[in-house]
Chains A and B, each alone.
Chain A
């Protein structure tokens, strides 16, 4: 069975600084997708960034980027120039090709200090 592990229950960063959230996963599949979702206090899960496993290039979305290490099964999220609005729970998630269900990590609560 596939598993996703986020080893940092909580992280904090000063506004405007950079923070990296860790995620590792376990799978025997070769074709899969990885995601980072943000869950602010409003509770809605919002897709932050997506990575296809067959792509070697790391995905970026404005201030958000990932470090995808396929051999190590690691998928970390880097947030540059942190803003107060980035404060939220962040969930790493996995789905393999042909599957319908996302497998989520435990989440990391990110606090932004002004």
Chain B
């Protein structure tokens, strides 16, 4: 069964550095998402992306964050200047169409540690 793939599985970076988290959604999917989960807390929505543009973003998704689909297969989340509080698991998800009967497929996540 096709899967959403995220790399790296664990990223350690210093505060103030830029990080790019990579995701390869399932190939025929059109809708893409990033969620994050701070250790011990809820999974939180960050952003949704469709037709090469952001369709919705949360309050968390400030100017430090950006998303891109540079080559039609990868879907990336960039954090320009990381803060300690950005340490979390970041999950990419994709779905074929925006339907609640269309299951949302999640990747295994990237654990980001900001020191």
Residue positions of A touching B, CB distance < 8 A: 33, 37, 42-47, 50, 52, 91, 93, 95, 97, 100-107
Tell whether B17 is near chain A: CB-to-CB under 8 Å: no
Instruction: A101-B33, A106-B42 are known; give 11 further A-B pairs, CB within 8 A.
Output: A42-B108, A43-B109, A44-B109, A45-B91, A45-B93, A46-B106, A93-B43, A100-B33, A102-B35, A104-B43, A107-B42
Question: Closest residue of chain A to B9, judged by CB?
Answer: A43
| Contacts of B76-97 to chain A: CB distance below 8 A | 89, 91, 93
Residue positions of B touching A, CB distance < 8 A: 3, 31, 33, 35, 41-45, 48, 55-56, 58, 89, 91, 93, 98, 100-101, 103-104, 106-109
**A52 to B108, Cβ gap below 8 A?**
no
Q: Which residues of B contact A91 (CB under 8 A)?
A: 43
**A44 to B108, Cβ gap below 8 A?**
yes
> Count the A-B residue pairs with Cβ separation under 8 angstroms: how many?
50
Q: Which residues of A contact B101 (CB under 8 A)?
A: 50
* A102 CB contact (under 8 Å) in B41, B98, B104, B108: B104
Q: Which residues of B contact A97 (CB under 8 A)?
A: 100
Q: Which residues of B contact A107 (CB under 8 A)?
A: 42-43
Question: Closest residue of chain A to B41, judged by CB?
Answer: A106
Q: Which residues of A contact B42 (CB under 8 A)?
A: 104-107
B42 to chain A, nearest CB (A): 5
With most chain B CB atoms within 10 A of its CB, the pick from A43, A50, A95, A104 is: A43
CA distance A101 to B54 in the complex (A): 13
Q: Which residues of A contact B104 (CB under 8 A)?
A: 47, 102
